[in-house]
Amino acid sequence: MEKTIANKTVNVNDEGYLTDFNQWDKDIAIELAKEKEVELTDKHWEVLSYLQDKYKNEEALSIRGIKKSGILNIKEFYNLFPGGPLKISTLIAGIPKPKSCI
């Protein structure tokens, strides 16, 4: 299904996740973050970049993996992306929802 985000038409699934990572850009990330009431800081961008790198390398994403990343601890992750940090951060990063998320 198509959705207009940041004046761009993108393809999303029924949960709002981009279905084509190549359509993602920073403007789209900012708009998706606003929808989730997240104001992106440098730390958010660092996490989003980490998640995208993992996705591009076809590595599974999990909360445990974030903990081992060395970028931030779990408490910081929950503070940056409240209400489901892995689910929200991957949505903003333009990558599919991890299988570990309900």
CA distance 64 to 69: 9
Q: Is 67 a catalytic residue?
A: no
**Could you tell me which residues come within 8 angstroms of residue 96 by beta carbon, excluding any fewer than 6 positions away?**
17, 19, 55, 90
**Could you tell me which residues come within 8 angstroms of residue 29 by beta carbon, excluding any fewer than 6 positions away?**
40, 48, 92, 93, 94
Token pair of 101 as six digits = 């998320």
Strands, E, within the chain: which ranges? 2-5, 8-11
Catalytic option among 17, 74, 101, 102: 101
Query: Which residues are catalytically annotated?
Result: 101
